[in-house]
Chain A
């Protein structure tokens, strides 16, 4: 069975500082990996996805993530955080065999200090 762990429930970061959100997954086959962002009262917006190929993927809003198979991780990073990045971030794992069904982690809430 697939599972996703986001170890950090809350992270507080100063505006302009760097941000890294951790994600660890468990899946027997080659996974598809995603990061979504959710603002209060909103649905989920796709930030980036990894299917295959280059393990460093670029996304929208200046985010990037690196797939490390040996560590079963897919951490999300941003070099310089803006106040508008305050939101909840979800890592998810899927697989072609699962027919686009996604398993989500519990989320990390990011607070940005001025």
Chain B
């Protein structure tokens, strides 16, 4: 049973560029959340997708957007990259409903130069 898979594992981009990160949830999970983890800090909630819609959003600018596909996989898009966007981006999946803990992927390390 595959867990949460993310691609790519590492990415280097230049300021002002755009990036797309991908996530496949754990089998049986229908909800996908994205978190940003800056170096030396805890993960920060970006947004959550369920039924192909953004259900919740954290305190991130509109440059951060996402999508969920009918097979529950998800993408995170970041436009106009800033140096401060350098971080580990974690995808987490869960089953909708009560008492479903998050299962995390290994993340995508984004470096903006």
B106 in contact (CB, < 8 A) = yes
Q: Is the CB of A43 within 8 A of B48?
A: no
Q: Is the CB of B45 within 8 A of A44?
A: no
B61 in contact (CB, < 8 A) = no
List residues of chain B with CB within 8 A of the CB of A49.
101
Q: Is the CB of B33 within 8 A of A46?
A: no
Q: Is the CB of A96 within 8 A of B98?
A: yes
Q: Is the CB of A43 within 8 A of B104?
A: yes
Secondary structure of the A side of the interface?
A: mixed
> How many residues of chain B have a CB within 8 Å of chain A?
28
> How many residues of chain A have a CB within 8 Å of chain B?
24
Q: A106-B41, A107-B41 are in contact. Are A98 and B56 (CB under 8 A)?
A: yes
The 7 closest A-B pairs by CB, nearest first: A104-B42, A43-B104, A44-B104, A43-B106, A106-B42, A104-B43, A43-B105
B residues apposed to A, CB below 8 Å:
4, 31, 33, 35, 40-45, 48, 55-56, 58, 90, 92, 94, 98-107, 109
